[in-house]
């Protein structure tokens, strides 16, 4: 296993888990939280646990996840792209971590930073907006409090802004090919009163602000509906953050 961290922090990243196998070891409440977040990200979840919460059992019964009703055995990470373990005794956690290391699989061992090759941040989500907060596993409670503060400050208007923004990116690029100019326009829009208008529910005025500043009116259709016509159908989301923040 790797030794103590010698660098200042972690490299933050968002993973595309669509269609990828993720193994979750353990059947408690945290495992359920992780499994639901992984499913929302489009992952194929394989649960390994002798017992599981009712929520996990229901997911297995519906076919949303596969459930191996037993304790972890070496070899269970074969074919996995990512792994999450929780509630294991030290010996089992060490065994899982060694297998993950040998197979080159990233592992989050919940509340067990020494055995983890990645940690899950506290996450604030408003539609396509996500803000991840991490304390490098040193004070998860602080990450939670910061998340709660941001949840009060960031509202549904941010999610709607991104939906509208997604519909104008392509036509804006056609109208203004110069990247530097487009960037200037985006900052003008973000720094305008467009979010206040959306917060007040005045979407007509907000759309007008888009057209006034960008020269392009938002489509009435949602951006993800347009994207579905250009790519194979897939669930796009982000895995929910859990412990070890």
| 190 in a structural domain | yes
How many structural domains is the chain composed of?
Answer: 2
Bin 60: left if φ > 0, else alpha if -120 < ψ < 50, else beta.
alpha
| 8 in a structural domain | yes
Pair (98, 174) in one structural domain: no
Pair (114, 172) in one structural domain: no
Pair (98, 167) in one structural domain: no
pLDDT tens digits along 33-79:
999 999 999 999 999 999 999 999 999 999 999 999 999 999 999 99
| 141 in a structural domain | no
| 15 in a structural domain | yes
Pair (104, 178) in one structural domain: no
pLDDT tens digits along 168-180:
999 999 999 999 9
Which of 90, 118, 146 is a domain's end point?
118
| 140 in a structural domain | no
Q: What is the mean pLDDT of residues 194-220?
A: 95
| 129 in a structural domain | no
CATH number of the domain bearing residue 86 = 3.40.50.720
Backbone angles phi, psi at 47, to 5 degrees: -100, 135
pLDDT higher at 229 or 39: 39
Q: What is the pTM of this model?
A: 0.73
> Which strands sit side by side in the sheet containing 44-48, from one edge to the other?
66-68, 44-48, 21-25, 82-85, 106-109
Owning domain of residue 173 = 156-230
- pLDDT at position 18, please? 96
- pLDDT at position 236, please? 33
| 130 in a structural domain | no
| 135 in a structural domain | no
């Amino acid at each position: 296993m790797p030794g103590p961290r010698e660098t200042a922090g972690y490299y933050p990243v968002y993973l595309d888990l669509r269609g990828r196998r993720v193994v979750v070891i353990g059947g408690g409440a945290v495992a359920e939280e992780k499994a639901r977040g992984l499913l929302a990200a489009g992952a194929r979840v394989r649960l390994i646990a002798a017992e599981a919460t009712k929520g996990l059992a229901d997911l297995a019964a519906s076919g949303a996840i596969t459930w191996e009703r037993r304790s972890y055995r070496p070899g269970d990470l074969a074919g996995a792209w990512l792994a999450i373990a929780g509630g294991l005794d030290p010996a089992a956690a060490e065994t899982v971590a060694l297998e993950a290391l040998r197979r080159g699989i990233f592992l989050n061992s919940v509340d067990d930073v020494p055995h983890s090759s990645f940690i899950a941040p506290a996450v604030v989500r408003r539609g396509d907006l996500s803000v991840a907060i991490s304390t490098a596993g040193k004070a998860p409670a602080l990450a939670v409090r910061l998340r709660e503060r941001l949840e009060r400050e960031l509202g549904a208007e941010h999610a709607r802004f991104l939906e509208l923004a997604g519909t104008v990116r392509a036509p804006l690029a056609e109208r203004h090919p110069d990247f530097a100019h487009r960037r200037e326009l985006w900052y003008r829009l973000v720094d305008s009163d467009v979010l206040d208008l959306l917060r007040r529910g005045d979407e007509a005025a907000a759309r007008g602000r888009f057209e006034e500043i960008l020269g392009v009116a938002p489509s009435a259709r949602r951006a993800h509906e347009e994207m579905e016509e250009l790519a194979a159908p897939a669930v796009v989301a982000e895995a929910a953050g859990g412990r070890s923040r």
